[in-house]
């Protein structure tokens, strides 16, 4: 519960100045002109604009009808052809010696006069504003207006009309020092990034990255060589800043081999055993012996990239239940339920024949000796059962099965899964894997992935050398403390926003007690600051100041929630509030003795307030 309205009022009194007014094209200043592929200028800006990495002085601009302006010291712009459109990200860099460029919406635009024109306004001290009014993307119907404001402080602000959207042509938005500077990766400007180089930009196109700033304003504040970007005039929304800390992947494990030769060298003649325990499996290296399938073994249909159901005489005990049917996939994995054969979980490969760490997202628990095999070309997959002592064992064998290759060569592999239907133990035995590659890697993968996943999404522990990393025990992943907020903070009418923290760690291990609180700040820090100096390394604060504590909570479940009413009395459009949850733990109680201070933190949530 909120401590008091006075505390909240104090919080908001600390807020940054009110958000800038959103775009108004009614008084854009002095008209420069209209047309298609036209350069206007150089024109005095009335300010000297500071830009890190550029000597300057930058006192003039050369404005293009195509939604970009170039900065100069009074002369012509370098590398600024009238017919340059913003359809190539490399335009942001330009050639060596190219003039700095400011691009509120760089595309192939047409300003059809008299309604369409570009204007400049230098009437406000310390500010130069350039506005494109009713511009059309070439051969596209919708009109759009937008503005670039440059301030003597080095701040840049872009504002956009409410109806703006990507048409059929690409566009660039950003600021660049030019001069052929190496192009960094594109940013998601609406997410409020802090950039580190002399070029800050995003590329938009209607199909892949639609323009997402209609009616909004972007403020780019100098930060070192780059900018800290903030969005205003946008609909009320919550955005996530960073992530919580101390994730520990324990549910899945694997070893990835990039080549057939590497897999053969490490696995031939080896084995691995999984034995059920209270939290999953205990995995050890060794302990298995290959058992050749008898003549009576059942041979599965020789299909490629397919699976077959094997109904068991008694269900296989698995963590959390039992599997009455096993699904044997031609590509070297056996699942405890249907669904791992569609490959949809293997993004971006999106197939079931390219081994990758995305196996962790397969919907069903599975045992993996994953490789692109094709029993169609030679060898067969077989299964048989045998009673060994008091146990019933199901043997599933890839018996001299060929790897998929072009051209096909003699490259058979023989390996086996042994499922103890009595105890639930699973043994992998590699008799002889081919060291011959596919001949077309990486088009046709020759990689192997060996491991186990429990079904559903799990954290990535990274590839390990199994022969050295085992023994190990699987168990629930330790997930980072996470914070979410809903609904959006709309203040007309008032909205009660609930901040919910999940994955709270226990204050004392195995106690079932969780202690947490939630801090608010008018100074969110999207880039985060490491808390190692407090004894909480690898945790980050996403708040510059701790302006309000919404109150500590003791819960007996790993979740906590706080409500905050956003109204039009205490809040105003454009207010930005940061939030972050903190949970207390016993110092040094995390794996490997992490966190001497005794706390973990969530991701940050940045709440943008508006009336819609």
Residue 90 sits at φ, ψ, to 5 deg, of -65, -15
467, 486: one domain: no
Would you say residue 3 has pLDDT above 50? no
Weakest mean pLDDT among 257-266, 576-585, 589-598? 589-598
Residue 423 to residue 412: CA distance in whole angstroms: 32
pLDDT confidence of residue 610: 80
262, 133: one domain: no
Question: Of 416, 440, 473, which residue sits at a domain end?
Answer: 473
pLDDT confidence of residue 16: 38
Residue 426 to residue 420: CA distance in whole angstroms: 6
Nearest one of 520, 576, 600 to 243, comparing CA atoms: 600
Question: Of 473, 499, 530, which residue sits at a domain end?
Answer: 473
462, 444: one domain: yes
- Domains in the chain: how many in total? 3
Residue 69 to residue 82: CA distance in whole angstroms: 11
Q: Is residue 449 in a domain?
A: yes
Would you say residue 59 has pLDDT above 90? yes
Q: Is residue 5 in a domain?
A: no
Weakest mean pLDDT among 35-49, 96-110, 160-174? 160-174
Would you say residue 417 has pLDDT above 80? yes
Average of per-residue pLDDT across 285-295: 97
Q: Mapped to the 3 state alphabet, what secondary structure does 304-353 carry?
A: CCCEEEEEEEEEEEECCEEEEEEEEECCCEEECCCCCCCCCCCCCCCCCC
575, 449: one domain: no
Tell me whether residue 182 is exposed, middle or buried, using C-beta atoms within 10 angstroms of its C-beta: 0 to 12, 13 to 18, 19 or more.
Answer: exposed
Radius of gyration of the chain (CA): 31
Domain span at residue 512?
240-245+479-608
Q: Is 493 in a helix, a strand, or coil?
A: coil
Give me the residue label for tokens 């059929």: 168
Q: What is the pLDDT of residues 318-369, one digit of tens each?
A: 998 999 999 999 999 999 999 899 999 998 888 999 999 999 999 999 999 9
pLDDT confidence of residue 442: 65
pLDDT confidence of residue 56: 84
Q: What is the pLDDT of residues 168-204, one digit of tens each?
A: 789 999 999 999 999 999 999 988 899 999 999 999 9
Average of per-residue pLDDT across 147-153: 93
pLDDT confidence of residue 189: 93
* pLDDT higher at 178 or 11: 178
214, 262: one domain: no
Q: Is 91 in a helix, a strand, or coil?
A: helix
Q: Is residue 15 in a domain?
A: no
341, 483: one domain: no
Would you say residue 407 has pLDDT above 80? no
Would you say residue 438 has pLDDT above 80? no
Residue 307 sits at φ, ψ, to 5 deg, of -130, 155
Provide the whole-model pTM.
Answer: 0.60
Nearest one of 103, 129, 110 to 28, comparing CA atoms: 129
Average of per-residue pLDDT across 389-407: 93
568, 505: one domain: yes
The mean of the pLDDT values for the chain is 90
CB 227 within 8 A of CB 156: yes
DSSP track, 532-590 = GGGTEEEEEEEESS--EE---EEESSSEEEEEEEE-TTT--TT-EEEEEEEEE--TT-S
pLDDT confidence of residue 441: 62
């Amino acid at each position: 519960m909120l401590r008091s309205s006075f505390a909240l009022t104090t919080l908001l009194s600390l807020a940054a100045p009110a958000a800038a007014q959103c775009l108004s094209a009614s008084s854009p200043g002095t008209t420069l002109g209209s047309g298609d592929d036209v350069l206007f200028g150089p024109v005095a800006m009335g300010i000297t604009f500071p830009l890190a990495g550029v000597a300057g002085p930058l006192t003039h601009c050369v404005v293009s009808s195509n939604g970009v302006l170039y900065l100069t010291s009074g002369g012509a712009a370098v590398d600024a052809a009238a017919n340059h459109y913003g359809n190539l990200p490399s335009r942001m860099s330009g050639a060596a010696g190219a003039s700095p460029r400011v691009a509120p919406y760089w595309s192939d635009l047409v300003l059809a006069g008299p309604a369409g024109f570009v204007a400049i306004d230098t009437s406000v001290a310390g500010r130069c504003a350039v506005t494109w009014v009713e511009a059309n993307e070439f051969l596209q119907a919708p009109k759009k207006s937008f503005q670039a404001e440059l301030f003597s402080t080095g701040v840049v602000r872009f504002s956009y009309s409410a109806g703006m959207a990507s048409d059929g042509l690409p566009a660039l938005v950003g600021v660049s020092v030019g001069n052929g500077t190496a192009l960094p990766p594109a940013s998601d400007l609406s997410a409020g990034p802090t950039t580190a180089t002399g070029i800050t930009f995003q590329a938009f196109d209607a199909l892949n990255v639609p323009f997402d700033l209609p009616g909004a304003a972007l403020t780019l504040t100098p930060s070192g060589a780059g900018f800290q970007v903030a969005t205003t005039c946008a609909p009320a929304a919550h955005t996530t800043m960073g992530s919580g800390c101390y994730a520990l992947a324990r549910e899945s494990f694997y070893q990835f081999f990039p080549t057939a030769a590497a897999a053969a060298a490490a696995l031939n003649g080896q084995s691995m055993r999984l034995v059920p325990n209270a939290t999953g499996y205990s995995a050890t290296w060794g302990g298995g012996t290959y058992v050749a399938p008898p003549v009576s073994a059942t041979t599965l249909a020789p299909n490629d990239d397919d699976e077959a159901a094997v109904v068991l005489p008694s269900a296989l005990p698995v963590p959390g239940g039992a599997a009455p049917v096993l699904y044997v996939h031609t590509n070297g994995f056996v699942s405890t339920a249907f669904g791992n054969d569609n490959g949809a979980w293997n993004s971006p490969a999106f197939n079931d024949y390219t081994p990758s760490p995305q196996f962790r997202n397969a919907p069903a628990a599975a045992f993996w000796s994953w490789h692109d095999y094709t029993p169609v070309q030679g060898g067969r997959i077989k299964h048989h059962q045998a009673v060994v002592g008091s146990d019933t064992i199901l043997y599933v064998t890839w018996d001299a099965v060929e790897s998929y290759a072009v051209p096909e060569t003699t490259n058979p592999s023989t390996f086996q899964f042994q499922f103890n239907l009595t105890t639930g133990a699973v043994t992998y035995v590699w008799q002889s894997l081919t060291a011959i590659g596919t001949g077309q890697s990486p088009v046709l993968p020759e990689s192997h992935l060996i491991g186990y996943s429990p079904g559903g999404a799990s954290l990535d522990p990274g590839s390990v050398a199994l022969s050295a990393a085992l023994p190990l025990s699987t168990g629930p992943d330790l997930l980072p403390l996470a914070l979410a907020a809903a609904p959006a903070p709309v203040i007309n009418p008032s909205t009660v926003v609930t901040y919910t923290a999940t994955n709270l760690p226990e204050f004392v291990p195995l106690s079932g007690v969780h202690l947490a609180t939630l801090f608010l700040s008018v100074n969110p820090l999207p880039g985060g600051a490491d808390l190692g100096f407090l004894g909480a390394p690898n945790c980050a604060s996403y708040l510059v100041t701790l302006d309000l504590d919404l109150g500590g909570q003791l819960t007996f479940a790993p979740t906590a929630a706080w409500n905050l009413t956003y109204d039009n009395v205490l809040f105003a459009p454009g207010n930005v509030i940061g939030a972050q949850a903190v949970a207390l733990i016993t110092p040094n109680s995390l794996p490997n003795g992490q966190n001497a201070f005794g706390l973990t933190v969530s991701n940050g949530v940045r709440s943008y307030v508006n009336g819609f």
